Amino acid sequence: MNTNQMTKNFIQKENSWQQVVRGYQNPDLKRSLWQIANSLIPYVILWFLMVFSLRVSYWLTLALAIPAAGFMVRIFIIFHDCGHGSFFKSQRLNDAIGTLTGIITFTPYYNWRHNHAIHHATTGDLDRRGVGDVYTMTVMEYVAASHWKRLSYRVLRNPLVMFTIGPLLVFLIVNRFSFGAAGKRERNSVYWTNLALLVIVILAGFTIGLKDYLLIQLPILAIGTSIGVWLFYVQHQFEGVYWARHDQWDFYLAGYKGSSFYRLPRVLQWFTGNIGFHHIHHLNPRIPNYLLQKCHEENSIFREVKPLTILSSLKSLKFRLWDEDRNMLVGFGSRRKPR
């Protein structure tokens, strides 16, 4: 089925999709508060256990960093929902908790919210790449690029860079700056987040010591950000993903076909805040994370969505470029010469 026919068939169902997902977009205050409690409290406890573990063995500290990083990912999901205004009915409360969890996850709330809104508005649009996404070149763009641009792109898309060094650099360094068309509020959120983090570092230096702080926080960040970037990557870089030029692009197709259903084991699904139901999240980002699974399971229209498993998602590691002739992601070895 070609893109135009797919779009036509989908638009015929659009009203039913909208009605279905709209019914799940009301947050539950008790569930939201409980999620804050069962995410932040264990994270703080683990953090202080890591302080004491330094006196025993650094291997124990690193072992504790794994569940701590899991809770950091879960805290980021709360931050993410607040950015969409879906975690509380009150926008002020969303902004307050979003700002707090942004400090914990080293991410300026308003600046991230701005960029992430662009991501939702442009997912799968080949003519509007580059903001809030994993930048992907087309085959023709890659072939026509200079030697240095191809080299830098290869480095960027190398899994060792993208899922290890890259995430840590983004959250530690890139997030300390505001780029592009961000407004005053977005820029200020960067400055205030940086100031809050500086205060935390100074306080840590006077209490447990700067070295101990780094020995604890860096492993948590390294593991947590790697998990987060992998999740974000596989949500939009998978076999059968939908991308199109702007004149043929459709918002609902981009959400439903351009976002994966990542079926994870129950424990990992809990730590990642149901973000694997990403196809539903993109259809309606106002649905709080704890209602995404319910929306998927209660509506037969989602049964045709083919899920990704951890094993099948590993295929995404080979994807590097978008082939417009074949409408699919391909590796570097599949590139063609321009006609």
Question: What is the three-class DSSP state of 323?
Answer: strand
Q: Return the amino acid letter for 229.
A: V
Strands, E assignment, the chain: 137-138, 321-323, 328-330
Q: Which residues are 262's β-sheet partners?
A: 308
Rounded CA separation 155/234 (Å): 18
Percent of the chain's residues with pLDDT above 70: 93
Mean pLDDT on 100-123: 95
> For the whole prediction, is pTM greater than 0.75?
yes
Residue 323 phi/psi, 5° resolution? -95, 105
Give yes or no for residue 2 having a pLDDT over 70.
no
C-beta contacts of 317-321 below 8 A and 24+ residues apart: 317/159, 319/237, 319/238, 320/136, 320/157, 321/136, 321/137, 321/138, 321/139, 321/142
Question: What is the three-class DSSP state of 60?
Answer: helix
Higher pLDDT, 209 or 23: 209
Give yes or no for residue 1 having a pLDDT over 90.
no
132: left (phi over 0), alpha (psi -120 to 50) or beta: left
Rounded CA separation 28/291 (Å): 9
Q: For residue 339, what pLDDT band results from cuts at 50, 70 and 90? A: very low
Q: Which of 325, 303, 217, 312 is nearest to 20 (CA)?
A: 303
Q: What is the DSSP string of 256-283?
A: HTSS-BB---HHHHHHTTTTTBHHHHHH
Average pLDDT, the chain: 91
Q: Return the amino acid letter for 4.
A: N
